[in-house]
Amino acid sequence: MNLLWLYLLLVKATLTSFSGMTSLAIVRNDFVLHYHLLTDQQLTTAIAAGRLAPGPNGVYLVGIGYYLAGYPGAAVGWLALVTPAFLSILLLHWLRRYSDRPGFRRALDSVLMAAAGLSLASALPLAQDSILDARGATLAVVAVAAFLLTKLDSFWIILGAAALSLLYFAVL
């Protein structure tokens, strides 16, 4: 795997997202659908590992890099993850000038809503690949309900779902 090409694909995803998981639509399209470098299951595993690790939501990009090119790929994933942070210094300087304009605020809100829609569109195929039976569907519904109806951090919901899944497989 060409590390420069891997970096460019990953940095494209991070530069076109507004938080870690909104890059998922681009990552899935590039790595699963277009180039067939990962499966949905591998992408889901990278996301789960990234969500369980401390740090930003987009840390799953490090796992994708590792899947594709080992430790050098993981380093490239980290570099793609931090690149926007350095570019944000320039962006903040520009935003300070225009942030008080109502039209600018409406445009920014529209972009955030579009990103939320892309995240949902990417998450549904991954959920379909991960939910294999009625117990998995029940666990998914409970996790979504816990996320929407409580103030629990998603880390605890994922950890609880993992524990219940392990318990389910231990009983089988």
| For residue 19, pLDDT beyond 70 | no
DSSP 23: G
Contact at 8 Å (CB) between 139 and 161? yes
Phi, psi (rounded to 5 degrees) for 19: -160, 170
pTM of the model: 0.60
- The CB-side HSE value for 152 (13 A sphere, CA atoms) comes to 17
pLDDT digits (tens, 9 = 90+) for 64-103: 999 999 999 999 999 999 998 888 888 778 777 777 888 8
The per-residue pLDDT for 50 is: 87
Longest dimension (CA), the chain: 60
What is the SS3 assignment for 100? Answer: coil
* Structure-block tokens of residue 158: 């994922």
